[in-house]
A and B are shown apart, each in its own frame.
Chain A
Amino acid sequence: MPVNRFNGHKDYGIGVGLRVPHYNHILERKPVVDWFEIISENYMVDGGPPLATLDRILEQYKVVQHGVSMYFGSVDPPDREQLKRLKALVRRTKTPWFTDHLCWGSVDGRYTHDLLPMPYTIEAARITARNIRQVEDFIEVPIAVENVSSYAEFHVSEMTEWEFLNEVVERADCGILLDVNNIYVSSRNHEFNPFDYLNAVDPARVAQIHIAGHSKFEKYILDTHDHPVIDPVWRLYGHAIERFGPTATLLEWDDRIPPFEEVHAEARKAARYMPQQAKVA
């Protein structure tokens, strides 16, 4: 298990993304789950049911925070109000590490609420690393950045996506949340070999892995998180575990969400690839 400084030296196992339709099941049935990943933004509020539910979950489960709006790659520095709310939530959850995406999503104070692709340039890597360091210094927990699915590339790019990822994490000295489904989606959309990507990632920086399903269209693949994980993605995952060792893994299912047992069972398939867990799974 890559227990390292980027995941707070925690040996977490296989988790599931905490989603509203599953709240009642989880709170009433108390299923055995290694850990839950929460979307930070859902709980960066002053009060009410979101925080009340989170507190009940925290009483019984390990929770890791995942963000969707820090936009490390945005040219503007992180928003202070957002950072303050994030830090308050980090203190509440005691998350051992924090993850968000290697992307941009806002400019000049206007937000797109999307995970937009980066131009792969040295200057973009430098700005992104600066932002990651600022956030990490402020919230005082290790950060791991997640590769996104993308549908467009920029003329100005000077390197591959995995070279850009390595450039950013080395400059920021942060970890990687490796989304193997996103690697697969982008490999199909941009016509590269996904194993080249996996083989280029520094194993020492991998803090966590994401798996998910996606939707296939005629000319591109969309990262929809509304299906089970497909076999080619499981093969990539297997290769990742071989290369990095057993790693904290999280299944994302965000749309057309089935019952909790189904989502959890899909996540537990990851155990087949983890040597020491396969015996008990």
Chain B
Amino acid sequence: MTAAKVQNLRQIQRRMAAVLMMPLTRSGHIAHRTTAIKGKPAKSMAAEAAAFIKPNSRLTSLERLDIYSRSYWFRLIGSIREDFPGLLAAVGSTAFERLSQAYLVECPSQSFTLRNLGSRLPAWLRRNPRYAGTALGLALDMVRLEWAHIEAFDGGAHKTLGSEDLIHLAEGSSLGIQPHLQLLALKFPVDELRILVNRASSDDDPESNSVPHSTRRLMRRAAQLRPTPIFAAVHRFDSNVYYRRIAFEEYSLLNALRQGQSIGEAVGKVFARSPEPLDRQCSLLKSWFAAWAELGWLCQRQEEIK
């Protein structure tokens, strides 16, 4: 085998992938021209397609590539739409299409699974705020919540620690937090909106391509949402994902435990500046740990097991 021939296969795959990943025209077909790269001018897409794809008696080379190009964009934007329905409600259908396309151009999939397609969307949207327009704050929070939802849905879970296991813990003990539990500090109550989105999606006709009434209703609801800082735990319980509002101190304590701090250290830091009297702090801690144990959030630290 010669290096030139291996390169040949790579060149074909690079050229075809580059064509497929170019955004479609407004009418939803393959672009008319290639992108200019490193001093090489843009050229006709028909010429580019003809350079490596054979025509047949019914389809030109360009038309044959168009089938794959449309398929790429419909599949990937469909996947983003499925994973981020709350974002769609927050920014509206037109902005959502534009945002999804721009995201996929800059962040093409780097994973074998579509499950990970949106993993870079929260960071990308922070870097590209113009795509969310006036709904930026809401959109940023919603994207983080929806990515947390995906992580909570199929994230790992270790053997849970129940209330009876907690009795034996000492101040210097460490606790693990289940990998599926996602902790979020949010500026908007996007959990409420996402719950409405979930309810509405079950009412819509999945075969319809038009913007459903529920989407328009949700977009109006999103526009009415006012900033209200919340702390949320996105977690899995009995195979369902839930959003649970938690207190700031709970959020801080769970984060500290996840980072490996001992129970005593974490509790000390969380309540260091708390105006709550000691007996109230004890009561809060007791109720939080009991709830966390009941919800299966606690486990042994995996580093200690290893």
Which A residues are within 8 Å of any B CB, using their own CB?
41, 44-52, 69-70, 74-75, 79, 82, 104, 106-114, 116, 119, 121, 123-124, 126-127, 151-157, 189-191, 219-220, 222, 256
Known A41-B112, A48-B155: A107·B68 in contact at CB below 8 Å: no
Selected contact of A47 from candidates B10, B13, B64, B154, CB within 8 Å: B154
**25 A–B pairs (Cβ distance < 8 Å), ordered by A:** A41-B115, A46-B157, A47-B156, A47-B179, A48-B155, A48-B157, A48-B180, A48-B236, A51-B154, A52-B239, A75-B9, A107-B10, A111-B112, A112-B20, A113-B114, A116-B68, A121-B5, A121-B8, A123-B6, A123-B8, A152-B53, A153-B64, A154-B53, A157-B54, A220-B58
User: Which secondary structure dominates where chain B touches chain A?
Assistant: helix
A82 nearest CB neighbor, chain B only: B112
Selected contact of B71 from candidates A45, A49, A82, A114, CB within 8 Å: A114
What is the minimal beta-carbon distance from B298 to any residue of chain A, in angstroms?
A: 16
Docked complex Cα distance between A151 and B21 (Å): 17
Is A156 touching B8 in the complex (CB atoms < 8 A)? yes
Map CB proximity to A onto B21-62 as digits: 1 under 8 Å, 0 otherwise: 100000000000000000000000000000111101111010
Docked complex Cα distance between A81 and B252 (Å): 32
Interface segment, one of B86-94, B103-111, B216-224:
B103-111
What is the minimal beta-carbon distance from B255 to any residue of chain A, in angstroms?
A: 20
The A-B contact count (CB < 8 A) is: 132
Selected contact of A119 from candidates B9, B65, B113, CB within 8 Å: B9
In the complex, how many residues of chain B place their beta carbon closer than 8 angstroms to a beta carbon of chain A? Answer: 50
Which B residues are within 8 Å of any A CB, using their own CB?
1, 5-6, 8-10, 12-14, 16-17, 20-21, 51-54, 56-59, 61, 63-65, 67-68, 71-72, 75-76, 79, 108-115, 153-157, 179-180, 207, 236, 239
Q: Which residues of B contact A220 (CB under 8 A)?
A: 58-59, 67
Selected contact of B239 from candidates A41, A49, A114, A152, CB within 8 Å: A49
Selected contact of B13 from candidates A50, A104, A151, A153, CB within 8 Å: A104
Selected contact of A156 from candidates B12, B113, B236, B239, CB within 8 Å: B12
Q: Which residues of A contact B68 (CB under 8 A)?
A: 114, 116, 151-152
B65 nearest CB neighbor, chain A only: A152
Q: Which residues of A contact B14 (CB under 8 A)?
A: 107-108
What is the minimal beta-carbon distance from A265 to any residue of chain B, in angstroms?
A: 23
Q: List 17 extra interface pairs beyond A47-B155, A153-B64, CB under 8 A.
A: A46-B155, A48-B154, A69-B113, A70-B112, A74-B13, A107-B10, A112-B20, A113-B72, A113-B76, A113-B109, A113-B114, A123-B8, A126-B1, A151-B68, A152-B54, A156-B52, A219-B58
A104 nearest CB neighbor, chain B only: B13
Q: Which residues of B contact A189 (CB under 8 A)?
A: 56
Q: Which residues of B contact A153 (CB under 8 A)?
A: 53-54, 56, 64
Q: Which residues of A contact B111 (CB under 8 A)?
A: 111
Docked complex Cα distance between A46 and B57 (Å): 48
B10 nearest CB neighbor, chain A only: A75
What is the minimal beta-carbon distance from B14 to any residue of chain A, in angstroms?
A: 5
CB-based closest 9 A-B pairs: A46-B156, A48-B154, A45-B154, A152-B64, A107-B13, A111-B109, A69-B112, A123-B5, A49-B239
Q: Which residues of B contact A44 (CB under 8 A)?
A: 113
B15 nearest CB neighbor, chain A only: A107
Is B109 touching A154 in the complex (CB atoms < 8 A)? no
Which of A107, A114, A152, A157 has most B Cβ within 10 Å? Answer: A152
Docked complex Cα distance between A47 and B115 (Å): 13
Q: Which residues of A contact B156 (CB under 8 A)?
A: 46-47
B59 nearest CB neighbor, chain A only: A219
Docked complex Cα distance between A67 and B198 (Å): 30
